[in-house]
Amino acid sequence: MSTTTPEAKLTKKDFESDQDVRWCPGCGDYMVLAQVQRLLPQLGIPRENFVFISGIGCSSRFPYYMNTYGMHSIHGRAPAIASGLKLARPELSVWVVTGDGDALAIGGNHFIHAMRRNVDLKIILLNNRIYGLTKGQYSPTSELGKKTKSTPMGSIDRPFNPVALALAAGASFVARTIDHDLAHMGKVLARAAAHKGAAFVEVLQNCMVFNDGAHAAIADKATRLDASVVLEHGKPLVFGKDRDRGIRLQGLQAQVVRLGEEGCSEGDLLVHDEQSEHRALAALLAELQAPEFPLPVGIFRAVTEPAHDERNAQLQAQARAAKGRGDLRRLLNGGDAWTIAPAQTGSTTWL
């Protein structure tokens, strides 16, 4: 009589590697790592089917600390490497962990094209608004006027808005969360993991050493309810510690209003729609910035579109139906040929 042994249920500990975590004490990366390790056992995916790929930077040490397959690759190229892996092995759950410098400076092109192609990757961008690994230079998300070791008089470059960039590039899932809010981060990452297609999550993360307090307004318990608005699908945009303020549209402009004043009620507020076919609403929300507006956190967009690997599989099927299975040896040895022969003058002529 044969019996089958049930598979052991995975836990957070199964995803913890034997490597010492070498981030600075107090770094927000610890919280992101812990949340990802808590999430993966819940997905019902065999551990050997997870892959974590990173580029260069503090955030990019992530694969060392995950007891999965992974690669610490080269600066900015993680989305390109991950895209190739997903095409070759579409059954894998492929994650990219990157930083604001790695993804948006040297890696900017790879980042936007992964979004444009809707490659089925889970991309977590840890945004501390600074180059932490190289000791405190300004990054593509550092604010105007930011004084750093490389901008001693203050930065004159306008910062990238990662959420707005991902939306403009066509990502089918775009979200923002913050390192200190573990419950919110867990929910957002779970939604990203379940999404088929390019899932982008910006995590606002603190660098205690080189940019402490970069996101203080929405991290501090005393101010965060007034400084941020949580996006919930199908619900009006209400915020504030007394939930007495909201955001409404006046024409094409967003406007902060106080509920109860001038007859304004929740029925007058903008209602969030993460599933809108058009990106206009999500793009408008992505542009809301302090101090005029609360910073939106949550899921900006979550729509169903064919993923890149699905389209590629369809293309392969069509090609095989039309031409049969490919033969690499025949391809290399067939087709057009060129002959090189000496010309009458003694020079070399291409024929």
- Which of 285, 303, 306 minimizes the C-alpha distance to 295? 285
Query: Residue 204 contacts by C-beta under 8 Å, 6 or more apart in sequence?
Result: 127, 176, 177, 178, 179, 214, 215, 218, 219
User: Where does 117-232 show beta strands of DSSP type E?
Assistant: 122-127, 173-178, 199-204, 228-231
As a whole number of angstroms, the distance between CA 11 and CA 191 comes to 19
pLDDT given for residue 64 in this prediction: 97
pLDDT given for residue 263 in this prediction: 83
Joined tokens for residue 294: 């609360």
As a whole number of angstroms, the distance between CA 72 and CA 10 comes to 24
Summary count for the chain: helices (H), strands (E): 11, 13
Phi, psi of 243 (to 5 degrees): 50, 50
pLDDT tens sequence for the chain (351 residues): 555 555 679 999 999 999 999 999 999 999 999 999 999 999 999 999 999 999 999 999 999 999 999 999 999 999 999 999 999 999 999 999 999 999 999 999 999 999 999 999 999 999 999 999 999 999 999 999 999 999 999 999 999 999 999 999 999 999 999 999 999 999 999 999 999 999 999 999 999 999 999 999 999 989 999 999 999 999 999 999 999 999 999 988 999 999 998 889 999 999 999 999 889 999 999 999 989 999 999 999 999 999 999 999 999 999 999 988 888 888 788 777 777 777 666 555 554
The domains found in the chain, sorted by start residue, are: 12-223+297-309 (3.40.50.970)
As a whole number of angstroms, the distance between CA 299 and CA 89 comes to 28
Strands 69-72 and 50-54: parallel
As a whole number of angstroms, the distance between CA 229 and CA 235 comes to 12
Answer for the pair 176, 204: CB distance below 8 angstroms, yes or no. yes
Phi, psi of 119 (to 5 degrees): -70, 140
As a whole number of angstroms, the distance between CA 335 and CA 45 comes to 44
Strands 348-350 and 340-342: antiparallel
pLDDT given for residue 340 in this prediction: 78
Instruction: Indicate the residue type of 29.
Output: D
pLDDT given for residue 351 in this prediction: 47
How many C-alpha atoms does 337 have within 13 Å on its Cβ side?
6
